Structure 1
Amino acid sequence: MSAVRIEVVRSGGFAGRTRRAAVETDGRPDAPEWHALADRALAAAPPPGSGGGVPDGFHYGISAGGRTAHWADPYLTEEQAELVERVLAEGR
């Protein structure tokens, strides 16, 4: 698989701040792991009725490989939560 830019935008929360981070997979030895995690995270559809999330919860935008999806707390899957955590921790 070619290089992919995986980007996470987290907004909202109690303070109402927006945080962005991205990971470029080009040249990373763990690139296949990142690609697989992003694919699993983006494949999951938000559950019915999860539109607005919860008061003071975070809203997430996840983009990778030309695809973008949006979710809100507390409706992230385990893969989505892991991807968000990893990108915000390791990304720039």
Structure 2
Amino acid sequence: MKIEVVRTGGFAGIERRAEVDTSGRPDEREWQALAQLALHPHPRAAEGPGRVRDGFAYRITVDGRTVSCHDPHLTDAQRNLITRVLKEGA
């Protein structure tokens, strides 16, 4: 499974991108479960703008399926996956 995270926005507006391929990893199932949960949008994301000025926006792509999300409307799974991918895929 390939997981890509793209982070944009923030005060400086710098894009950061990272990718992790979970194939063959000892923790592959854990990554897969987290990635599937992260593809579901935050329930409050549909309520309207709610973006924080200079906040981050994210695009999470898992095997061709993409979800866009932004602070402060991230699910726990999205926040966890974003942190892990940006750390390990850097």
1:40 aligns with 2:37: yes
1:13-92 counterparts in 2 under 5 A? 13-45=10-42, 47=44, 48-51=46-49, 53-92=51-90
C-alpha contact 2:11 2:54 (8 A) present in aligned 1: yes
Amino acid at match of 1:16: G
What TM-score comes out, normalization by structure 2 length? Answer: 0.91
Deviates more, 1:78-87 or 1:38-47: 38-47
- Percent of pairs identical after alignment? 54
What TM-score comes out, normalization by structure 1 length? Answer: 0.89
Q: State the 4+ residue runs in structure 1 displaced beyond 4 angstroms.
A: none
> Which sections of structure 1, spanning at least 5 residues, go unmatched?
none
> Which sections of structure 2, spanning at least 5 residues, go unmatched?
none
Amino acid at match of 1:71: C
What is the number of residues matched between the two proteins? Answer: 89
